[in-house]
Amino acid sequence: MNIVMELMGILSMINISIPCIGLKKNHYGSVILSLMGGYGLKNIYVPLFPYTYTIGVFSTCEIEEKKTLNLDGSVSVKEYLPVNFTLDHRYIDGVLSSKMVKSARCLFDDPNEFQVKESI
């Protein structure tokens, strides 16, 4: 089975389509999205799949409820969606990926700051 998957990965990488076995051109994207939080997993790191030739796997975890302290001193419970991202360092440098993570964190912390303003 492993040889079949490797062969399909190579054929997909060189963009060959074989409809009779279900192999389409560009079958995999540049990143895989894994929604494992729906299965109740609190924290998950998805491994890379060599035959997909992708640079990473983005995974969501189970939604968590956390207590937060509001500006007026009251305590409220808010929901958080933990996400993990596994990167292949052969394709992207760790320093560049850390900059991407910092930018994404800023975006998620204050999404109103990044809204596109409509022009008249």
Residue 63 included in any domain: yes
Query: Mean pLDDT over all residues of the chain?
Result: 78
Question: pLDDT tens-digit profile of 16-43?
Answer: 677 777 666 655 567 888 888 778 888 8
User: In CATH, what number is assigned to the domain containing residue 45?
Assistant: 3.30.559.10
Residue 36 lies in a domain: yes
Half-sphere exposure of 71 (CA within 13 A, CB side): 0
Position 59 in a domain: yes
**Predicted TM-score (pTM) of this structure:** 0.56
- pLDDT for residue 10: 67
pLDDT at 29: 62
Give the pLDDT score at 105.
82
Residue 12 belongs to a domain: no
Q: Which residues of the chain have pLDDT under 50?
A: none
Q: Choose among 93, 11, 111, 8: nearest CA to 56.
A: 93
Cα dihedral 48/50/54/59 (nearest 10) = -20
